[in-house]
Amino acid sequence: MKFAYVTTHCVATVALAAVFGLTIGTGPSAQAQTFTVLYNFAGYPTDGGGPGAGLLMDASGNLYGTTSYGGKVNGPKCARSGYLGCGTVFKLDTDGVETPLHNFTGGGDGATPRSNLIMDANGDLYGTTTFGGDTSNCVDTGYAGCGVVFKLSGAKETVLHRFTGGGDGAFPEAGVIMDGRGNLYGTTLESGEFNDGVVFKLAGKKETVLHSFTGGKDGGYVPSGLIMDAKGNLYGTARFGGDLKCDYPGGCGVVFKLAGTQLTVLHSFKDSPDGDAPYAALLLDPNGNIYGTTASGGEPYGAGTVFEVSASGKESVLHRFRVNYKVQHDGEIPDTVVVRDAQGNLYGTTEEGGPSGGGVVYEITPDGKEKILHDFCTGDCLDGVFPNGLIIDAKGNLYGTAYGGGVNNQGTIFMITP
């Protein structure tokens, strides 16, 4: 049991409640849908701060994730924008107890993890750090190292690959995925043959570049992770490139498919009306339809979109976010992956915007209707600010992180019940 910050329809109340599994309300008139803060990060030198990615849930309901700064170890290459600490991998158990499983040092083990995690059948965790690793490389960024792919077995970290900033890529922002043979796949923001990022494969500790982006029609600068279909094809998004006639020079980004080393562009964004700057990984439904978001574009409001690319290759916009306050401010910068429930409803977050300006959790029904499930406050609000990606459990509960805000202004972990 622990104190949690609970809101229903954005009315705050403090309640004593179990962190997981208990319906929390404000009395007999409480609505069924409830927002609960499960954990408040404290930053350096304790548990970490600035969780910049979504969560992972194991079969017992424990949550795992990363914080981009904070933890017990600080160094000159980790401090940034006034924040101390090199970041952590953490576990939050079902009693609400948070445990840092690894404190990054900023050296060979990595620094500044911004990725989600995956777990194998043995309970080992895998992820990336954007910086750290081989500290002789990428020093011109103000950080030492171009990032790593790591494995965490209990408290033991093994670095599977240290990026060099050459043909192998640099600055993995997203996490990795695993195929049935234990091979890992991921992306990097930059470097590669054309300095526009790569898709890579790791077989053990051997890295193979499957595609180096050119920044042209195939896209470039890849902050998003990958998904894989039953045939082993990979799908992802690139922030730039594609149709170079789009509203912005350099292209508005693409959705791509990678079959082996053969890349096919499934859709090139044009800013208006379909969006610009896809940052997030994609979602694939059982029928082969792909869902995703763009962080901006999508006129007439230009605040980003939720889109679908059908199995036949047709792209359609499911929702355009609005920044016109005279109409409705329903969110801005939807730069995280969407999740889908059994009824076909999509859920996601926007980094900013909403009625209070700190981002929202939204739902989009199959008929295209959008509903704000939670409106995050700005500043040091106790519910958090700048939410990240969501996961959904079998009961329809949503879990996510907020980069800032909370009791200590270091970010939060939250849950929304249906």
CATH number of the domain residue 200 falls in = 2.120.10
75 located within any domain: yes
Sign of the alpha-carbon torsion through 402, 89, 54, 20: negative
* Chain segment 372-387, per-residue pLDDT in tens: 999 998 666 899 999 9
- Mean pLDDT of residues grouped by 10 in the chain (418 residues)? 33 28 29 85 92 96 96 74 84 96 93 95 97 87 86 96 96 96 97 96 97 95 95 96 76 96 95 92 95 91 92 92 71 94 95 90 93 83 93 96 94 94
117 located within any domain: yes
Distance of CA 311 to the CA centre of its chain: 24
Selection from 153, 119, 146 nearest residue 130 by Cα? 146
Separation between Cα atoms, residue 131 and residue 148, nearest integer Å = 7
Helix, strand, or coil (residue 209): strand
pLDDT of 406 reads: 94
Tell me the residue length of the chain. Answer: 418
What does DSSP say about strands 385-392 and 412-417: parallel, antiparallel, or unpaired?
unpaired
pLDDT of 82 reads: 63
pLDDT of 15 reads: 28
- Residue 349, strand partner residues: 361
Separation between Cα atoms, residue 253 and residue 222, nearest integer Å = 9
Contact (CB, 8 A) for 135 and 119: no
162 located within any domain: yes
Distance of CA 267 to the CA centre of its chain: 21
328 located within any domain: no
């576990």: which residue's tokens? 91
221 located within any domain: no
Instruction: Tell whether pTM > 0.95.
Output: no
Structural domain harbouring 145: 2-212+380-417
pLDDT of 81 reads: 54
315 located within any domain: no
CB atoms within 10 A of CB 95: 11
Selection from 281, 294, 282 nearest residue 332 by Cα? 294
Separation between Cα atoms, residue 128 and residue 147, nearest integer Å = 7
409 located within any domain: yes
Say how many domains are in the chain. 1
345 located within any domain: no
Q: Which uninterrupted H or E stretch holds 14?
A: strand 11-17
Write out the two tokens for 118. Answer: 């995956």
